[in-house]
Amino acid sequence: MDDALDDVFKALADPSRRALLDTLNARNGQTLRELCAGLEMARQSVSKHLAVLEEAGLVTTVWRGREKLHYLNAAPVHEIAHRWISRFDQARVQALADLKLALEETPMDAPTFVYTTYIRTTPQKLWQALTEPAFTQRYWSTEFTTDWQVGSPMTWDNHGVVITDPEQVVLEAEPYSKLSYTWHSVTPELAKRFEWDDETLAKLSAEARSKVTFTIDEEAGQVVKLTVVHDGFDPGSKFAEMVSHGWPAVVASLKSLLETGEPLSEGN
């Protein structure tokens, strides 16, 4: 873990790499060509800096057809804040908090959320944690009723609110590799559970249905790379804003459950 911490601070120490992060914070999901065009750096230099940022986990990539898109990834800073916060003086704590906020904010002109983390587990156990109610209830307070076949409907029990809708379906299900499904509907009961006002309920209800995709990649040393992509939002999406703050907490709790046997308590 200390090596990972060193990698993050080493990556952030270079002003050119910080400039790359600033560019992605302004507009997430850029290609290498787009990043080069927005910075006074040669393509080779940008590629090298991106490699360092990816190695530190501060940038993650997603392929869209033939294009490789680069996204900010808040996971390393989130984990530093949670696990090592007591090691730093107040000034550095504030710097971490500011950076964490910047990395988690999703620009509303490109409302796609991408989050990558590494978990000491196996693909099989991670698949169980993503699909089986005994796991999802512990770290997410959410359960799914479905057979996990492509096209099958999903009933959500979201924090005690049961949501059934024929458009809540499984999109992809490749055991131990990839899972994708449409997001749940918004109901008055859910709004009451989370104390949303009428305006928020109306705005969320009017949005197009989004989807979430989990990609599982086995790494060396019994480590699994989990990438969460949540997309399909409308421009200016309220849901995009909400999930960009919700997913880091859910994934951190999932990671804690698999690595320690206990999820994070709410509020951590």
CA atoms lying within 13 Å on the CB side of residue 186: 21
Is 21 part of a structural domain of the chain?
A: yes
Give the global pTM.
Answer: 0.75
**Pure H helices in the chain:** 2-12, 15-26, 32-38, 43-55, 75-83, 90-104, 123-131, 133-140, 188-194, 198-206, 238-260
Burial class (CB in 10 A: 0-12, 13-18, 19+), 91: exposed
Note the residue count of the chain.
268
pLDDT at 247: 92
Is 265 part of a structural domain of the chain?
A: no
Over residues 210-229, the mean pLDDT reads 93
The last residue of one of the domains, among 105, 129, 163, is: 105
- Do 139 and 50 belong together in one domain? no
List the domain range (segments joined by +) for residue 12.
Answer: 2-105
If DSSP codes are grouped into helix, strand and coil, which group holds residue 107?
coil
Tokens 């409907």 belong to which residue? 153
Domain count, the chain: 2
**Which has the closest alpha carbon to 218: 121, 76, 79?**
121
pLDDT digits (tens, 9 = 90+) for 145-159: 999 999 999 999 999
The last residue of one of the domains, among 105, 125, 151, is: 105
pLDDT, the chain, mean: 86
The last residue of one of the domains, among 60, 82, 105, is: 105
Is 268 part of a structural domain of the chain?
A: no
Gyration radius from the chain CA atoms:
19
- Do 123 and 140 belong together in one domain? yes
Is 267 part of a structural domain of the chain?
A: no
Over residues 201-225, the mean pLDDT reads 94
pLDDT digits (tens, 9 = 90+) for 25-61: 888 888 999 999 888 788 999 999 999 998 888 898 8
Is 266 part of a structural domain of the chain?
A: no
- Do 198 and 146 belong together in one domain? yes
Rounded to whole angstroms, the Cα distance separating 212 from 226 reads 13
Over residues 3-7, the mean pLDDT reads 73
